[in-house]
Amino acid sequence: MTRETGKLVAVIGDEDTVTGFLLAGVGHRTPDSVNFLTVKADTKPETIESTFKSFTARDDIGIILINQHVANNMRHILKDYNQTIPTVLEIPSKEHPYDPEQDYIMQRVNMFLGGSA
């Protein structure tokens, strides 16, 4: 058994986003699991949600990158997520620009800094 000291980055996103991160070397595949999910138009919300939950339960993942437009479809789960690690970061995609007002982390930061919720 090989002992790894680092944590993985997991990616949930559209095909362009996942492909880009895999080409950058983020991908990790074992016989039992992978650290990415490519979300297509026919991907069921339950699949996205169960993948997110499985990533958050793994102790080898330190960061979960998720396209913001995908995160919007599971906002109810993200609002209840309160773990520090893995950290969840919402990122833009080629077709969907980033909107900080939809990002729950930015909403929390704004609230802590005295802004409106």
Q: How far apart, in whole angstroms, are the C-alpha atoms of residue 114 and residue 112?
A: 5
| pLDDT value at residue 109 | 67
* pLDDT one-digit tens code per residue, 11-69: 999 999 999 999 999 999 999 999 999 999 999 999 999 999 999 999 999 999 999 99
What pTM, to 2 d.p., does this model score?
A: 0.80
Cβ neighbours around 31 below 10 Å, total:
4
> C-alpha angle with apex 37: 35 to 38, nearest 5 degrees?
140
Residue 48 CA to residue 13 CA, distance in Å, equals 9
pLDDT at 113: 76
Class of domain 8-112: alpha beta
* CA-to-CA dists, residue 117 to 70, 78, 83, 84, 92, angstroms: 22, 16, 20, 21, 22
The partner residues of 38 in beta bridges, in order of sequence, read 13
